[in-house]
Structure 1
Amino acid sequence: MERGKTLKPNLSSITVLTLQLAAATLAGIAAFLLDIPGDWLLGPLLIGVLATLNPDKAQPLPPSLATAAQVIIALGTAASFSLSTLFQAAHYTLAMLMCIVLTGGLCLGKGYLLWRWAGIDIKTGFLGSIPGAGHSIVAMSEEMGADALAVAVFQYLRILLVLILIPLLAGYFFPVDSVSVNVPSVITHQFSLTEFSVNLALLTLLGALGVLGGRWLRLPQAVFIGPLLTGLLAFWFFPYPLYLPKLVLNIGLLLLGLSIGLKFNWQAAQKLIKAVLIELILVIILILGCLGVGYEFHWLTGVDLITALLGSTPGGLMAVMAATIQLGGDSGLVLGMQMSRMFLILLITPWLASFLLKTPQKVDEDFSE
């Protein structure tokens, strides 16, 4: 009888967790079909938030699944960088570093204003304002002690505004006579079950080595940065053609989104709404400021204005690349500028955050409290 009593809660927890994962999967599919930015993260995140309407029945994800999500996203981030793209941008190293510093300064300023005006903690304000690599920053934020849900909201609100505003501004100031935009399609390959299995096994090994190595080296956010570094080395120099299946990346985003959503506190919703309204205004100012930085890049390097402006936008890579192709900019350089900034940000952010967050802070309640 005693045994039966101990088994029942476990079976119930597994059932609830299974239902949550199933609902998160359906939400991810729906968001994908509706073409919502960050579909496989935001859809499951919403399911997690809705599950907290009844906190007594909501089942948090096991720590092992949350760790797996960070490792998958770290490897997916590593797979998105190529040495050739970074080398192309290296021709403008000094000017690009100046632009990254200026853009970073604008974003830090936005994070500071969010902290002061919206009443959120400084960690959340800072990480929610980092430009580019939205899902990667969200993955690191919880380990840094920030409110991952608020960081996700701020990151994807910025991406959404960039997706809307950049094509409108580009079309208004640089009108072109074109009926359609021919964006190169992603080349897909058919892989056998054996190749898929070998890749999955190698990626699992890379992730495990990254986590162990990151912890051994005491890297900040070791669960993310460790696999990111091992992934970069493997994707760049390993002789076997490694790839991360889209299905695996989507699973990582789903687990991360659901994990964040299940930590939502409805009593803090009013503060989040206030912060979102302030964020709308600050993001528009940030976009205009980054366009100003792009103009300076154009003035310093002689790169055409369209390329310089679009290469300096704070995220929204797909919309930026589509606008670049439509307007006749240098798509290779725009991609190189965006990816180089993202690469440096991902490597610098943990150390910079650790330094900044040691400074005296305003005592305030966090969203998750």
Structure 2
Amino acid sequence: MPVLQWSLLFVLSLLLSLLFLFIHLPGPLLLGSMIVGIIFSMRGISLHPPRCTFLGAQAILGCMIAQNLTGSIFTTLAAHWPMVIVILLATLISSAIIGWLLVRYSNLPGNTGAWGSSPGGAAAMVAMAQDYGADIRLVAFMQYLRVLLVVGAAALVTRLVMGDQAQTVSEQIIWFPPLSGNLFSTLMLAAVAGTAGRLLRIPSGVMLLPMLVGALLNASGVMVIELPEWLLAIAYMSIGWQIGLGFDKQIFLMALRPLPQILLSIFSLMAICAAMAWGLAHYMQIDFLTAYLATSPGGVDSVAVIAAGSHADMALIMAMQTLRLFSILLTGPAVARFISVHAPKQPA
């Protein structure tokens, strides 16, 4: 019965999230709901969150990011533009090489391997892969597996770097603050800008348009973005369920044969991005946590949730993540075609 299953999903997600909150793990609601969603999927329990719920969560997340974006971030990026360009190019080239090797040394079709290994927005990659004839089931599995591993690593790194500060952040959370009319204007911003982003077919526009418009309105003093923690909690859990329930037991069994190569490709990209984070931290004189989250290979929404639970520089992180997303979206089709045509296959 769907009602019983949804109730069980909610209760178990809440309990696991509270456990993660108790041990001061960043992004506890995202991680808890994601893990429970994966368990449900692997046990054959098929639940499909309403599409509007996930889109609403992304729009709310965009508003949350907008609170932290200021004009100074563009000054910072402009001052260090050579390093920013190097990071973007290195990410693109690394993902292309890894995708080529994955197709070369696995039984994955060229299109599927290329799109599945692309470090862009998972939902956007799956949608674009379908347009180019790839097996979207395997692409979705590879993309959400990458997101799962990246989120887990980001949460672990954040917890290790923050140390005792993680407890301070958890204790500072006020779940039910007094509300004002700013909440209504924030919800209107999320609804209008999020809908516009979807209608205009902007990749990840449901999150990015509220983020950009909200940052402009918030910085200019036209409005004050107000997002109580309980509303953010709902958004975080919705995103976690979307990721966790997106796994499929049958697709997992189908992907068992190339799974070692898939995992190796994901871990390789994560290691390369971590090395770039070390260089970025030294070059820009910023903390390693900010650099790590800024160079982390997606997804944008998941990284934003982890960053929100830390003292990292959200503005720099989201600027770098957004630039990476758009660069991947622009180059993805050409890279996928190149890999499909030119990546030699292993002899049978």
User: 109-118 or 233-242, which moves further after superposition?
Assistant: 109-118
**Cα deviations across residues 320-355 of structure 1 (Å, max 9, x unaligned)?**
9xxxx9xxxxx98xx876454234224544444466
Once the two structures are TM-superposed, the CA of residue 250 in structure 1 deviates from its matched residue by: 2.6
1:266 pairs with one of 249, 255, 270: 249
1:220 corresponds in structure 2 to 203
Compared with structure 1, are the counterparts of its residues 282 and 354 closer, same or farther at alpha carbon in structure 2 (3 Å cutoff)?
closer
**Cα deviations across residues 39-89 of structure 1 (Å, max 9, x unaligned)?**
32222122112223443x533212221222222223233333222233234
1:241 pairs with one of 205, 218, 224: 224
1:25 corresponds in structure 2 to 14
**Cα deviations across residues 282-338 of structure 1 (Å, max 9, x unaligned)?**
4334433554x549x84xxxx6xx659887543489999xxxx9xxxxx98xx8764
After superposition, where does 1:123-162 map in structure 2 within 5 Å?
123-127=115-119, 137-138=121-122, 143-144=127-128, 147=139, 150-155=142-147, 157-158=149-150, 161=153
- Give the letter aligned to residue 203 of structure 2: P
- Give the letter aligned to residue 26 of structure 1: L
Compared with structure 1, are the counterparts of its residues 157 and 260 closer, same or farther at alpha carbon in structure 2 (3 Å cutoff)?
closer
1:46 corresponds in structure 2 to 35
2:63 corresponds in structure 1 to 75
1:90 pairs with one of 73, 78, 97: 78
- Give the letter aligned to residue 88 of structure 1: T
Once the two structures are TM-superposed, the CA of residue 201 in structure 1 deviates from its matched residue by: 1.6
Compared with structure 1, are the counterparts of its residues 237 and 111 closer, same or farther at alpha carbon in structure 2 (3 Å cutoff)?
farther
State the percentage of identical aligned residues: 19
TM-score scaled to structure 1, two decimals? Answer: 0.65
1:211 corresponds in structure 2 to 194
Partners of 2:46 and 2:326 lie apart in 1 by: 35
Q: Is the 8 A contact 1:28 1:254 kept in 2?
A: no
Q: Is the 8 A contact 2:99 2:265 kept in 1?
A: no
Partners of 2:17 and 2:225 lie apart in 1 by: 26
1:133 corresponds in structure 2 to none
- Give the letter aligned to residue 219 of structure 2: W
Residue segments in structure 1 that go unaligned for 5+ positions in a row: 1-11, 131-136, 171-179, 326-330, 363-369
Partners of 2:329 and 2:33 lie apart in 1 by: 26
1:102 corresponds in structure 2 to 90
Partners of 2:326 and 2:10 lie apart in 1 by: 31
Q: Secondary structure at the match of 2:54?
A: helix
Compared with structure 1, are the counterparts of its residues 349 and 208 closer, same or farther at alpha carbon in structure 2 (3 Å cutoff)?
farther
Partners of 2:175 and 2:10 lie apart in 1 by: 28
Q: Is the 8 A contact 1:149 1:260 kept in 2?
A: no
The question of 1:254 aligning with 2:237 is answered: yes
Q: Is the 8 A contact 2:183 2:225 kept in 1?
A: no
TM-score scaled to structure 2, two decimals? Answer: 0.68
1:341 pairs with one of 320, 336, 340: 320
1:284 corresponds in structure 2 to 271
Once the two structures are TM-superposed, the CA of residue 255 in structure 1 deviates from its matched residue by: 0.9
- Give the letter aligned to residue 3 of structure 2: I
Compared with structure 1, are the counterparts of its residues 107 and 53 closer, same or farther at alpha carbon in structure 2 (3 Å cutoff)?
closer
Partners of 1:34 and 1:188 lie apart in 2 by: 14
2:4 corresponds in structure 1 to 15
2:133 corresponds in structure 1 to none
Q: Is the 8 A contact 1:149 1:261 kept in 2?
A: no
- Give the letter aligned to residue 243 of structure 1: E
1:194 pairs with one of 179, 182, 191: 179
Partners of 1:103 and 1:45 lie apart in 2 by: 26
Compared with structure 1, are the counterparts of its residues 97 and 207 closer, same or farther at alpha carbon in structure 2 (3 Å cutoff)?
same
Once the two structures are TM-superposed, the CA of residue 23 in structure 1 deviates from its matched residue by: 2.0
RMSD (Å) for aligned C-alpha atoms = 4.3
